[in-house]
């Protein structure tokens, strides 16, 4: 017993004295070599156009980064339950908007935007914010300004507001009350916009200062034929692309007073009759948790579609419809072997589609041909983001 | 059309609950807020629209056509037309009862569901029970008239644990608030 | 928009003022009735002999209570990841030994024994302790004295120690260094005992005071044929029942100087040759995460068995062997349709077996006949406890 | 018998690592502690036992007989004979490299594994990488000579994250410490 005890005391002493000083120098040792090795830590690249970010899913921490070309995991960004992630447009940082209690499910609530270095994935700092919404599977609850200087965090307490964060100074600026609106939309040079329950779009100008709120005319039926959150935004065209439960497609040219197009029917764009909100009317409907993905360079919207009746908007997709938004034509349809819950598309020249389901099975397809490139077990069951088109 | 006129429902219940007094006054105030929820915001567009969905019992949703009224531990129990989560009825609780150690959120999202026994519509408050780990039993995700977060009172994805000691989601109940006729 | 805003302000005001004062009076409303209802909260009974407690599993919080007769969930005891639960022998409390960080996976570490009322499942208090081991799937890292007055929490930092907790005064008493030993064994009237890496049993007398440690003679081969943790203890006989990887069965009469029996072979007790530690020797071996369960009244040990070679001690069980410990006979063998990772048996007169696997499928069998009584999907993938024989 | 005489291994490496100096002295001290681990405790019983298992290469375990040396993202890669957890090689790390943002624990459990290419035994330190959520890729649970917690340095269930900033388990590496001959 004695020697064991001495071993332990020795180890504890060593730990107490020197842990902070330990360096694990990187070595170019062949991983299959037979020479003694030392431990090291990988440093990764800044976000690449073929990278996808997949939340682990309900109740599970972490956002895994996958290289779509190789199908391999690059690493994991720390992200707690019900957190939202945003990527610095310059690729230097990952920002995680999160709510953590001091004792797990109890204790003091701490809301923050946590900043990670994109190469080391190390935590750099935490920016305290007053509040945020607790909901999963959304990308529009935490967006950044196009220059990466400001973060906008949606809050629901249950009063609706947006917390403005200065990402340069790394501090909270102010909360802007935004009653009846949610689902934040980038609006470069103005501030941000949002969709509202009265069918309007709200635009918040100068959100870091006076924060003036204006509303568009009502243009959609928020309760009867809602626009899906997880909609698309095209930075080059400064245009948002919206899709409703029935398949109406709207585009909005963003600005101080956004210009919203007349809608057209996705189903008509594929040669069908437009879908309706009426019961007992079966057709192809868009749906799932993250039903659309948008490839900006080609202007193609990828939509998870299923057959069903109205109010089936969470049903998983059995086909991907590829809509040329400008020409108003469904140019391709890709049948899926397994229903998909989330869809995302990479922003590079040869885009890739990333799909997953609630069992965490991930699938990478060629976005042009639909060819299966990789299958990743346990890829993550949550919302998917693509690296920005850097 | 009248049955699912959520604005009318809201006004009626506002008046009804405003009349409450006594020891349940705080419940009433919160209940008022809750039930007021579906009443607002006013929906000028949808109301003006010619294409407003036909929600009469004669044209029930797929859920309503297949709903049953005998087993509240099944996803197709009629009150669950817009529930999302674990059924408290499977977790040691009941249709309006939180399992031991959890706490009902005083505010919630709502649904309007049709009882297959009498064909009438009822207003259902889906109160989350909070403060325990997620119960892994009887997960359901029904979506009749379920919308997006900009209409929060009709969204079933939000963690509806407000004013509870812990905001951890445990399970969901389906509390009958009243007739929606 | 205005009315919506007013609604929100009104609700927030109401919440701010009165949440603490809200009562949800219980009502005897028919759950299928059509009258307006109010929300209430269930109160449950104190532990019943047919109840099982199933940890959700790796990375998932919570310990679900199931009534073995009905197969229904009674409720969930809060329990964070890598926590251990112990049940007050008098049935008044559930104790959870747990480690929580102030910011999820970072921040300040907080080790504690959290006390829950067994009827309301409400948190009563937290007893701060200095440390504990971080490991899953163990029942011997947190045990109580037979009178329920003291808790013993195993700690590994990586020095080995036991934290003594006064459950009456609800405070930490002292840490007892216990080098080279783990797997705590009740030892009423003395303190507690533990198994050690030198093949001895350590006994800690007067753990709440002077804490004198003595060791038995070496009796088992800790590295070559280890005794499984999650072993059994019979309170009526004050006897521990041990099983090794090869299937050797030891009993230990607990006391100031425990008396340990000569071992016998489980396989021999079933008519086979004894199993060996030699490679290329195939036979029936005990194994899985929680390989044994003991029904005290009948003296029957239920063992998960699989066919394989030595060092397959984590393989799931394909059969349950029922060993009459005193008569040294395997009296029944129950073939399983699906391999099981954990086994537990209730302590009542008509015992029930609870099994689960790593996919969380739970199975309740009649312990005498092996008849399947209930199947519970998503029952939990972790370690199982039975209510004490109250 | 000699090949797996962990006591002898320990003494040899103790001496070898004790000779280290320079900036890696702390690593050496911890390494010493680590490698010392399998050396202790002395096992009077098992050593005295006639039934001590035959661990010679001629009588390899089932794992060793099926192990390969070409793909360290598979559970049957030879070094993984006693690993339990997610392979860092599948998580953006490598056989001895922690994925970005995680941190190797300076202490670990150990295994003695046979390289199929040369039939020799090597001492492997299974260092956990800590401080990230569990990587959900390539879960393995191999158990050659894996024991219980009272022999902690040979137990692969413990969260081996000591002296790291965060004790959250991310994945496991299999660092070659040296030959065990």
Mean pLDDT by groups of 10 residues along chain A of 390 residues: 31 32 35 80 97 95 97 97 97 98 95 98 98 96 97 97 98 98 98 98 98 98 97 96 98 98 98 95 97 97 98 98 98 98 96 95 97 97 90
Measured CA to CA, the distance from residue C284 to residue C304 in angstroms comes to: 10
Please report, for residues A21, D21, D107, D110, D164, the alpha-carbon distance to residue A14 in angstroms, rounded to integers and kept in the order given.
11, 15, 11, 19, 13
Beta strands B97-98 and C40-41: pairing type?
A: parallel
Domain spans of chain B, in order of start: 6-49, 62-179
**Average of pLDDT values for C133-138?**
96
Other CB atoms within 10 Å distance of the CB of residue A225: 26
Q: Which of C31, C65, C76 sits opposite B94 (nearest CB)?
A: C31
User: Which three-class secondary structure string do you get for A268-293?
Assistant: HHCCCCCCCCCCCCCEEEECCCECEE
Looking at CA atoms only, how far is residue A40 from chain B in angstroms? 36
Q: Does C13 touch chain A (CB under 8 A)?
A: no
Cα(C258)–Cα(C201) distance, integer angstroms: 8
Mutate to test the interface with C, among B16, B70, B92, B127 (most CBs of C within 10 A): B92
* Euclidean distance between CA atoms A292 and A313, whole angstroms: 12
Q: How far is C112 from chain D (nearest CA, A)?
A: 16
Q: Tell me how close the Cα of A250 comes to any Cα of chain B, in angstroms.
A: 16
Kindly indicate the confidence band of residue B18, based on its pLDDT and cuts at 50, 70 and 90.
very low
pLDDT in the model for residue B144:
97
Q: Which residue has the higher pLDDT, D85 or D26?
A: D85
Average pLDDT, integer, range C207-232: 97
Identify all chain A residues contacting C77, using CB atoms and an 8 Å cutoff.
Answer: none
Q: From the centroid of its chain, how far is CA C124?
A: 21
- Work out the number of other CB atoms within 10 angstroms of the CB of residue B23: 9
Q: What is the model's pLDDT at position A32?
A: 52
Identify all chain D residues contacting A360, using CB atoms and an 8 Å cutoff.
136
Give the pLDDT score at B127: 97
Annotated catalytic, B160?
Answer: no
Helices (H), A206-299: 266-269
Q: Using the beta-carbon criterion (under 8 Å), do D54 and C279 form an inter-chain contact?
A: yes
State which residue of chain D sits closest to A21, comparing Cα positions.
Answer: D26
Are the C-beta atoms of B171 and B92 separated by less than 8 Å?
Answer: no
From the annotation, which residues of D make up the binding site for substrate?
Answer: 84, 156-158
Q: Is B35 an interface residue toward C (CB < 8 Å)?
A: no
CA distance B96 to chain C (A): 5
Q: Does the pLDDT value for residue B55 go beyond 70?
A: no
% residues pLDDT > 70 (chain D): 67
Q: Which helix (H) or strand (E) holds B38?
A: helix B25-39
B-C CB pairs within 8 A amount to 166
Asked if the Cβ–Cβ distance from C40 to B96 is below 8 Å, we say yes
Average pLDDT for C213-231:
97
The DSSP secondary-structure symbol of A197 reads T
Q: Tens digit of pLDDT for each residue in B7-17?
A: 333 333 333 33
The shortest CB-CB distance from B46 to any of A58, A157, A224 is to: A224
CA nearest to C59 within chain A: A60
Tokens matching residue C214: 């003595």
CB of A176 less than 8 A from some CB of C = no
Q: How far apart are CA D40 and CA A180, in angstroms?
A: 67
Cβ–Cβ < 8 Å for D110, D80: no
DSSP designation for A223: T
C278/D166 CB distance under 8 A = no
Question: C281, C356, C378, C389: which is closest to C73 by C-alpha?
Answer: C378
Chain A / chain B CB contacts < 8 angstroms: 142
DSSP annotation of C261 reads P
C59 dihedral zone (left: phi>0; alpha: psi -120 to 50; beta): left
> What does the pLDDT read at residue D11?
35
Chain C touches chain D, with at least 3 Cβ pairs below 8 Å, answer yes
CB pairs under 8 A between C and D: 142
Among chain B residues, CA nearest to C45: B100
Compute CA distances C156 → A377, C79, C141, C178, C227, whole Å.
34, 20, 10, 10, 19
| Window D:15-34, CB contacts with A under 8 Å | 23-24, 26-27, 29-30, 32-34
Burial class (CB in 10 A: 0-12, 13-18, 19+), A68: buried
Are C224 and D152 a contacting pair at CB < 8 A?
Answer: no
Tokens of D28: 């050496």
Alpha carbon of D161: minimum distance to chain C alpha carbons (Å) = 9
Question: In the annotation, is B128 catalytic?
Answer: yes
Beta bridge partners of A208: none
Angle (CA) D63-C222-D144 rounded to 5° is: 10
Instruction: Give the tokens for residue B101.
Output: 């150690």
Encoded tokens for A31: 């991983």
- Model-level pTM? 0.88
Contacts of A62 in chain C (CB under 8 A): none
| Touch B-D: 3+ C-beta pairs under 8 A | no
Binding-site positions of D: 84, 156-158
Q: Does B152 contact chain C (CB < 8 Å)? A: no
C-alpha distances out from residue A277 to A63, A308, B57, Å: 36, 11, 15
**Residue C205 dihedral angles phi and psi, to the nearest 5°:** -90, 145
What does the pLDDT read at residue C358? Answer: 85
User: Would the pLDDT of C185 be above 50?
Assistant: yes
Give CA–CA dist D151/C223, Å, rounded.
Answer: 7
pLDDT of residue D9: 36
pLDDT score recorded for residue A17: 29
* pLDDT exceeds cutoff 80 at D35: no
Joined tokens for residue B179: 């007739």
Nearest-neighbour CA in chain A from D181: distance (Å): 13
Q: Does C223 touch chain A (CB under 8 A)?
A: no
How open is the CA angle C178-C182-C184, to the nearest 5 degrees? 100
- Average pLDDT score over residue span C340-369: 96
pLDDT digits (tens, 9 = 90+) for A277-289: 998 999 999 999 9
- Find the angle CA(D4)-CA(D6)-CA(D7) to the nearest 5 degrees: 135
Q: Of B41, B40, B37, B7, give the one whose Cα is nearest residue B153.
A: B37
H helices of chain A, where? Answer: 2-18, 266-269
User: Would the CB atoms of C311 and D45 count as touching at under 8 Å?
Assistant: no
Tens digits of residue pLDDT in D95-142: 999 999 999 999 999 999 999 999 999 999 999 999 999 999 999 999
**Cβ-based contacts of C283 with chain D (< 8 Å):** none
Catalytic residue among D78, D109, D144, D160: D109
Nearest to C172 by CA among C202, C134, C203, C207: C207
Q: Which pLDDT tens digit goes with each residue over C7-34?
A: 333 333 333 322 232 333 333 333 456 8
* Residue C354 φ/ψ region, left for φ over 0, alpha for ψ in the -120 to 50 degree band, beta for the rest: beta
CB atoms within 10 A of CB D116: 19
Residues of chain A found within 8 Å of residue B162, distances taken between Cβ atoms = 157-158
- Catalytic, out of B13, B72, B78, B128: B128
Give the count of beta carbons closer than 10 Å to the beta carbon of residue D33.
Answer: 24
pLDDT tens track for C106-132: 999 999 999 999 999 999 999 999 999
Average pLDDT, chain C: 92
| Confidence band, pLDDT 50/70/90 cuts, at residue C390 | low
Beta strands C106-117; A181-187: pairing state: unpaired
Full set of structural domains in chain C with CATH? 80-386 (2.130.10.10)
Task: Tell me: pLDDT of B166 over 70.
Answer: yes
Q: Chain A: give the shortest CA distance to residue C106, in Å.
A: 10
C59-69 exposure pattern, b = at least 16 Cβ within 10 A, e = fewer: bbbbbbbbbbb
Provide the 8-state DSSP code for A149: S
Comparing alpha-carbon positions, the chain A residue that sits nearest to C177 is A5
Q: Which residues of B touch A141 (CB under 8 A)?
A: 149
Rounded to whole angstroms, the Cα distance separating C321 from C333 reads 5
Rounded CA gap, C256 and A365, in Å? 68
Element (H, E) at B12: helix B6-18
Which one of the listed residues D13, D72, D78, D128 is annotated catalytic?
A: D128
**Cross-chain residue pair C198–A12, CB shorter than 8 Å:** no
Going by beta carbons, is chain A in contact with chain D, meaning 3 or more pairs sit under 8 Å apart?
Answer: yes
Query: Which amino acids of B are annotated as binding site, given as ranges?
Result: 84, 156-158
Buried b (16+ CB within 10 A) or exposed e, C252-282: bebeeebebeebbbbbbbbeeebbbbebeee
Q: Is B5 exposed, middle or buried (0-12, 13-18, 19+ CB in 10 A)?
A: middle
Shortest alpha-carbon distance between residue C107 and chain D (Å) = 8
Closest partner residue to A42 (CB to CB) among D26, D100, D162 is D100
Which residue in B132, B125, B129 sits closest to B172, CA to CA?
Answer: B129
End-to-end C-alpha distance for chain D, whole angstroms: 10
Contacts of C18 in chain B (CB under 8 A): 26, 29-30
Which is nearest to A91 in space by CA: A48, A54, A123? A48
d(CA A287, CA A301): 14
Sheet holding B109-114, edge to edge: B109-114, B121-126, B175-179
- Of B109, B117, B141, B160, the active-site residue reads B109
Q: Do the beta carbons of residue D11 and residue D39 sit within 8 Å?
A: yes
Q: In terms of CATH, what superfamily is D62-179?
A: Methylamine/Aralkylamine dehydrogenase light chain (2.60.30.10)
| C245-278 per-position pLDDT tens digit | 999 999 999 999 999 999 999 999 999 999 999 9
Q: Can you tell me the mean pLDDT for C166-177?
A: 98
Residues of B in contact with C3 (CB under 8 A): 39-42
Binding-site residues of B for substrate, in ranges, read 84, 156-158
Give the separation between CA B116 and CA C328, rounded to whole angstroms: 61
Give me the pLDDT at residue C35, please.
86
């Amino acid at each position: 017993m004695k020697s064991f005890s001495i071993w332990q005391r020795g180890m504890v002493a060593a730990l107490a004295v020197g842990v902070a000083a330990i360096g694990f120098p990187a070595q170019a040792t062949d991983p299959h070599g037979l020479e003694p090795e030392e431990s090291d830590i990988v440093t990764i690249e800044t976000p690449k156009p073929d990278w996808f970010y997949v939340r682990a899913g309900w109740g599970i921490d972490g956002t895994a980064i996958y290289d779509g070309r190789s199908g391999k995991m690059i690493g994991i960004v720390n992200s707690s339950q019900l957190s939202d992630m945003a990527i610095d447009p310059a690729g230097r940082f990952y920002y995680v908007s999160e709510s953590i209690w001091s004792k797990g499910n109890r204790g003091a609530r701490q809301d923050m935007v946590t900043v990670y270095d994109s190469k080391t994935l190390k935590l750099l700092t935490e920016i305290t914010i007053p509040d945020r919404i607790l909901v999963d599977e959304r990308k529009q609850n935490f967006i950044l300004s196009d220059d990466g200087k400001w973060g906008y965090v949606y809050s629901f307490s249950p009063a609706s507001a947006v917390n403005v964060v200065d990402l340069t100074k790394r501090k909270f600026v102010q909360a802007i009350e935004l009653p009846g609106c949610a689902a934040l939309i980038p609006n470069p040079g103005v501030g941000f916009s949002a969709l509202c329950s009265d069918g309007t779009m709200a635009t918040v100008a100068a959100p870091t200062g006076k924060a003036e709120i204006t509303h568009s005319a009502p243009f959609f039926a928020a309760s009867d034929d809602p626009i899906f959150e997880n909609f698309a935004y095209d930075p080059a065209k400064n245009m948002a692309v919206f899709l409703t439960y029935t398949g109406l497609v709207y585009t909005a040219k963003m600005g101080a007073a956004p210009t919203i197009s007349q809608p057209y029917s996705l189903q008509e764009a594929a040669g069908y009759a437009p879908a309706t909100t009426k019961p007992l009317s079966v057709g192809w409907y868009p749906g799932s948790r993250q039903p659309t993905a948008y490839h900006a360079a080609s202007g193609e919207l990828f939509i998870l579609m299923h057959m069903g009746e109205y109010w089936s908007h969470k049903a998983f997709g059995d086909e991907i419809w590829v809509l040329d938004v400008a020409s108003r034509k469904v140019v391709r349809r890709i049948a899926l072997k397994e229903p998909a819950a989330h869809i995302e598309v990479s922003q590079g020249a040869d885009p890739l589609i990333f799909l997953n389901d609630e069992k965490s099975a991930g699938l990478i397809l060629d976005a042009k041909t639909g060819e299966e490139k990789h299958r990743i077990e346990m890829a993550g069951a949550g919302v998917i983001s693509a690296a920005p088109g850097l | 059309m009248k049955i699912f006129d959520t604005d009318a429902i809201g006004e009626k219940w506002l008046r009804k609950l405003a009349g409450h007094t006594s020891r349940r006054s705080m419940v009433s105030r919160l209940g008022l807020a809750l039930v007021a929820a579906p009443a607002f915001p006013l929906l000028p567009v949808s109301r003006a629209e010619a294409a407003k969905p036909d929600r009469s019992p004669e044209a029930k949703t797929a859920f309503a056509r297949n709903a049953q009224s005998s087993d509240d531990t099944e996803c197709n129990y009629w009150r669950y037309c817009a529930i999302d989560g674990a059924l408290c009825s499977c977790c040691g609780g009941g249709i309006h009862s939180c399992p031991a150690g959890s706490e009902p959120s005083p505010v919630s999202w709502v649904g309007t569901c049709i009882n297959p026994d009498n064909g009438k519509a009822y207003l259902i408050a889906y109160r989350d029970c909070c403060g325990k780990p997620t119960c892994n039993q009887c997960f359901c995700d029904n979506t009749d008239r379920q919308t997006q977060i900009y209409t929060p009172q009709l969204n079933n994805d939000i963690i509806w644990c407000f004013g509870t000691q812990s905001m951890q989601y445990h399970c969901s109940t389906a509390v009958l608030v009243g007739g929606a006729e």
